[in-house]
Every structure is written in structure tokens, then in C-alpha cells.
Chains A and B, each alone.
Chain A
Amino acid sequence: MQLFVEQLINGWALGSLYALFGIGFGLVFSTLGILNAAHGTYASWAAIAGYYAVERFGVPFPVAIAAGVIGGGLLAVVVDQIGFQPLRAKKTGMLGALITSIAFWIILDSLAGFATGQQSLAFPAASYPNQMVVMGPLRVPQMQIITIVALLVCTIGIHLLIQKTRIGAAMRAVGWNEVAAALGGVNARMVILLTAFLAGATSGLAGVLGGISTSNVSFTLGEGLMLKGFAAVVVGGYDDVRGTAIAGICLGIIEVFVAQYISTSFRDGFTYMLLLAFLIARPRGLFGSASFVRA
């Protein structure tokens, strides 16, 4: 039983990383209509930014997290303005943006490789909370608790932002129809910039937390999150962060339990079978709107 609960927490923490990443990925898709293949690199670069903030400047843990989050957000804005804004102006549609994002993915991945000297780096153990929290017979790493709490805070915060604020209403309006939103008085350009930043920052948070807790800061970090994050968005529903959060957690738990009780070889197969089943049975995911369609 102790093993079951410990693995449940391991899966929950792992799934929280997928969900955090997926929230950013889903925001870009639902608001900006971009299936952004470069999104994983935001997580990689956020982890690299956090790592070098610690390594070069010896900043404390919260500042390292902030460096990663802001770095991820700014990178997303830069990519959007250089790569996607010209396409948006020419109304080239999703395919042009997808191809552009693949180009950015390859470029940013290569640069990330050079930034890390092609090595897999790790945050120094003393630079983050690395103790175990003892809860009766259970021992839970502090970073797992931080990751789980980070997901809860982000999910609730972004859900409230989108559903309960004027900015959120503007984001939903731009996601529905950018021209109509602009005619209605929404500053679409500003909403796009804000959405890009928020998406990059959320995925950046996943990257820097993942980089710390897995002792892996490298250009491969984002690639691992990308597929699982995408699965979380599809299963959870593109336009509802609550669905992405729940689906991400479920994916993490399923992964860990399949590896523990069945076989590691079947782990990814199960994950993608679930994705396929959802795509067939419920294309809009757990919480997605029935009417949600991107042009």
C-alpha cells in the first residue's frame, strides 16, 4: 500500500509537469490558433535560463524560477512576433504557422544544445529544496510538493483570468474571431502578446521545475514534455485549463502505474492509446466546448 501511494504521488507530480506545459500549449492553440511545435523549446530555454542564473549569479531558488518563467515568456513573445505575426498579417492559416514553428523548434533546439555544451546539466543540490518531507510512512521530495502546488495555483489563476476578467474575455474574443474582437474595441495585438507571454511563462515554469526535479537541463527536456503536454491538451480539451490539468495528472499517474505494475515497454503505448481513444470518442476532450473549432 505504501508503494502504491508513493507511486501515486510520483505520478501526480510527473503529471503536474505535463499539465503545466500543456496549459501553455493549449492557450496558444485556443487563443492564437497555432499548433506550435516550438513550444517545447520554451521549456528547455526556461530551464537553461534558471540554471545559468544559479550557476553564474548564485541566485536563490525563487529567483531562479522567476528567471526561467520570465525567460520562457519573453522567448515566446519573440518567436510570436518574428515568426507568427507576419503570417497572421497575411492570413496564411494554420499550416504556414505549423511549418514556421517547426523551423523555430529546430533552430532553438540547436541553440539550446550549444548553450549547454551539448551536455545534460543539473541544478546544484544546494540551490533548491531537496529534502524529503516525511508524512507517516511516506517520504515525499519537496520538489514534488512544489510542482503539485504550482500546478494548482496556475490552473486556478489562469482559469479565473480567462473566465472572470476583462482580459480573459478579450482573450476568448480574439480566440473566437480576431477581427470581430478588434471591431468590438479589443486591442488584439496586446491580447496576442499577453497570451504568448503567458503560454511561454507557464511552459517555462514546467521546464524549470522539471529541470530541477529530474536533474536534466538540456535541449531534450522540452521534447519530452511536448508530446505528453499535447496529449494532456487533447484529452483535457483545448479551451479549458481545468481539463488539461486533470488530464495531465491522469497521464502521469497512468505512466507510473503502467511502468510499476505492467511494463515500461507498454508505458508510452498506453498513453497514446488513451489519446487515440479520446480523439475518437470525444474529440473535444474532458472539458472542451462542443462548439470549439479553430479556423
Chain B
Amino acid sequence: MSKASAAARTLRGVLAGAAALAIGYAGTAAAAPAAGEYGVGFITENTGPLAAAGVSYHRGAQLAVDEINEGAWIGQGVKLKLNEKESGSDAARAVQALTQFSADRNVIAVTCCILSPVAAALKPVTTNAKLPLVIYGATLPGLPQPPYVTSVVGLPGPQEVKMSKMLAETLKPKTVAYFVNADNEGFQNRFKAAQKVMEEAGVKTAGVVSILSADTDFTAPATQAMATNPDLIMVWTTQTPAAGIIAALRARGYAGKISASDVISPAPVFKKIGAALAGVPFPIVFSSEISSSPEAKKFVEGYTKKFGEAPDTYSAQGYTSLYLIAQAMKSLDGKPSREDLAAALGKASAVEYNIYGGLPMVNGQAEVQNSLVAAWTADGKVVRWENK
């Protein structure tokens, strides 16, 4: 090989490398949104009947925005700004907040809603306004409607089924009594999913005790359930009733097995009810004490540092909703429009940065694959549940 040909080849190589670098650079530049501050409307529920959970969702979102901005997660100079408007879990106030966000052109997306009826009320409004909405808490199937409505909340069902199968196999109950919210479709679906598993395993239904979300006195329902003499009592209700029911059952002397849903997982619930919750299994997709992925550990560390307490499953969902919006932003070019962002959200096949060890999105709906069955210890720690 002559020196001339070698030099030519070297030159070609250098040129090819330079071209590749240039293309790569151009590609990166093309995928980065224009620097600037983009508003994300957050419809808070920091007051009203669900305020305890609402505060957690909000804090999770605040932490995510801090991380995204500090780490230039979307791109250099690209920042998100959380704009909050309070709904108090009231559909009319939530619609009003969404309408105001819609009029504010600095707001590129909105995230909202613990209650499914509130999310359902926002759905047509946000679709008509062509403003992307990411649901952070509501669990009714069918709420997402890509590209404008997506949800980071894993639907109830798989984790309840998993736990029910585990309980049927390990506890081997002959009869089960169920508590269920008569006025909450989401919890009725959870109850039905659990009952189906139990009945397929040959476990009879001893009784179904209905309660209402606004109820506070559970002595009579506890008496009713105990009178059916079940081997296991499964509590499929919203948070305040679930805590009240378990407390009432134990106060009335029920020493048998009880299971519940993830509503009893937040620390304030244990602080309120105390040792009566010990050993009650519940399915959970995130726990600050059990979840072990690097992302989960970073989330727990950052949240604890910022708010002085460990995050719960609700703060995890608020956190995830902002990362999904950031992910969609990151995939866009130039100055993104609401329509562009909606299209990107609708196309997302997974929430890439998540604390669940994987979070696929199917038709705008997150699907949580890795759930745990956990329980409180008598001294207030969440551990993997074991039959004792």
C-alpha cells in the first residue's frame, strides 16, 4: 500500500468520522426541544376528602420537576414549571382549573385527578381543548384516550389477583367475607377480581358488607362481618373506611386474618391505626422500604431529603406522571406544541425512567408488572408479607 493511498484512506476515515459526528450532533440537536420554561398544569387535591393522598401526589410531582430541571433531563436550558390549581377533589373545580390552564398558552400539559369521576369529567374538556392530560391517580378502566389522555396509574386487577391467589394458597381459607365500597366502581372491580380468584380456588363467600366512602362509624359493619364467622376478611374500600374497618374489627375482638388494598400503605395510616394493621397483607407496586431498583432508591432519598418523610405509593405516581411528560418533551424538536406533545405521549410504549422496575404503556395506559405483597410490622415498618 502506497503512502498516498494510505493517506487518502486516513483522510476518508477522518472525513467519515467527522461526518458521523456531525450527523450524530445534528440528530441530537434535532431531538432536543428549544430551551425555555414550559408550564405543566397540576390540578392538586391538597384539600377536601382525599387531601392526605393529594399532598403525596403533589410532592412526588414537585420532586420530579426539581430532578428534571437540575439534571437537564430534557435538554440544556429546558425547564418545566409546575403550575398548581386546587380542585379539592371536586369535578366542577377541576374542570374550571383545566379551562384556566387551557387559556394559558405557557401550559403545555396538565396532570390530574385521584377520583375517576373527576378524571372522566375532564376527559372531554381536555380533548376539545387539545391539551394533553396525564392522569396520576384515577383507576377506572377506559379513562385514557390517546393522544390527549394518558395515565401512569396501573389499573387495579393484576396485583389484587396475585395477592388473592397467594392468600388462597397459603392461608387456605374455607370462607371469606368482603367489605366493599358501594359507591366506588374502582373498588368494586377490585373486590370482584379478588372474589373470582377465591371462588375459583373453592373458597366460599361468607358475606359481602357494603359501606359508603363518607362513612366513619364501622362498629356495625364490623359486627355484621364477624357474624358470618369467616376465615378471612378482605377489605376493598377507600382509605378512611379501610383503616376504620380494620380498627373496628380488631377493637371488637376479631383475631382472624384480614387483608386490604394498597390504601393502607401510607405511613399516616399506620400512625393513625397503629398495631391493629400489623400483619394485614396488601398488594403494592412501590414501597419506600421494599422497592430496590436504583431509581426507587434515588427517589426515596430525594423525597426524604426534600420533605422530611419517606414517599408513599401516591407520591410515586405523581413523580411518574411528570417523568412521562418530560420523556415526551425530550423526544420533540424545536418549540413543541400541545399537539406535538400529545402525539408523543400517545406513542410512548413505556415510561422509560420509572421506579417500578419497568412500566410499559399500552394504549395510553400504564401497566404495572411488578407488584409486591407487603404488610406492616407492629413497630411500623413495611416488610414483605409472610404467613405467621
A residues sitting closer than 8 Å to B (CB atoms) are 2-3, 6-7, 10-11, 13-14, 17, 110, 113, 117-122, 124-125, 130, 132, 139, 141, 144, 210, 213-216, 218, 220-221, 224, 256, 259-260, 263-265, 267-268
Contact = CB atoms under 8 A, between A and B. Distances in A.
Among B49, B52, B182, B217, max chain A CB count under 10 A is at B217
B211 interface: yes
B273 A215 contact: yes
Contacts, number: 96
A132 B253 contact: yes
Contact of B47 (A118, A122, A216, A259): A118
Interface string B197-211: 000000000000111
B235 to A, nearest CB: 14
Contacts of B248: 215
B52 A214 contact: no
B196 interface: no
Contacts of A117: 52
B10 interface: no
Given A10-B223, A215-B273, A265-B210, A119 B268 contact: yes
Contact of A3 (B182, B218, B227, B243): B227
B383 interface: no
Contact of A214 (B54, B216, B224): B216
Main secondary structure of the interface of B (DSSP, over half): helix
List 5 A-B pairs, minimum CB-CB distance, nearest first. Answer: A118-B51, A264-B210, A10-B220, A256-B220, A216-B216
A3 B51 contact: no
Given A122-B272, A122-B273, A215 B220 contact: no
A141 B252 contact: yes
B137 to A, nearest CB: 15
B87 to A, nearest CB: 14
B217 A221 contact: no
B76 interface: no
A220 B50 CA distance: 11
Contact of B219 (A121, A141, A263, A267): A141
Nearest to B221: A259
Given A11-B220, A119-B52, A215-B244, A132 B252 contact: yes
B22 interface: no
Task: Assign chain B's interface to a size class.
Answer: 35 or more
A226 to B, nearest CB: 12
Contacts of B47: 110, 113, 118
A264 B219 contact: no
A113 to B, nearest CB: 6
Among A144, A221, A224, max chain B CB count under 10 A is at A224
B349 interface: no
A121 B272 contact: yes
A14 B217 contact: yes
Given A121-B272, A125-B274, A132-B252, 10 more contacts: A10-B223, A14-B219, A139-B253, A144-B219, A213-B217, A216-B216, A216-B244, A218-B240, A220-B49, A259-B220
A121 B220 CA distance: 21
A228 to B, nearest CB: 10
B341 interface: no
Contacts of B261: none
Contact of A113 (B51, B209, B218): B51
Interface string B230-274: 000000000010011001100111000000000000001000111
A110 B276 CA distance: 30
Nearest to A120: B240
B250 to A, nearest CB: 9
Given A118-B47, A124-B274, A264-B182, A141 B220 contact: no
Nearest to A257: B220
B212 interface: yes
A203 B227 CA distance: 33
Contact of B224 (A110, A130, A224, A259): A259
B253 A215 contact: no
B219 A10 contact: yes
A224 B214 contact: yes
Contacts of B217: 14, 17, 210, 213-214
Given A14-B219, A120-B240, A214-B216, A7 B224 contact: yes
Contact of A224 (B54, B216, B252, B273): B216
Interface in B39-54: 46-47, 49, 51-52, 54
B55 interface: yes
18 contacts: A2-B227, A7-B223, A7-B224, A10-B219, A11-B220, A13-B219, A17-B217, A113-B47, A118-B51, A119-B52, A122-B243, A130-B251, A214-B218, A215-B247, A216-B240, A259-B221, A260-B220, A264-B211
Given A213-B217, A260-B220, A141 B251 contact: yes
A6 B247 contact: no
Among A11, A122, A268, max chain B CB count under 10 A is at A122
A198 to B, nearest CB: 25
Contacts of A130: 251
Given A3-B227, A130-B251, A141-B252, A120 B219 contact: no
Contacts of B274: 124-125
Contact of A118 (B46, B224, B243, B273): B46
Contacts of A132: 251-253
B244 A214 contact: yes
Nearest to B46: A118
Contact of B52 (A118, A139, A264): A118
Nearest to A221: B216
Given A139-B252, A141-B251, A224-B214, A7 B51 contact: no
Contact of B220 (A14, A110, A263): A14
Contact of A220 (B211, B216, B224): B216
A117 B46 CA distance: 10
Interface string B272-311: 1110100000000000000000000000000000000000
A124 to B, nearest CB: 7
Contacts of B52: 117-120
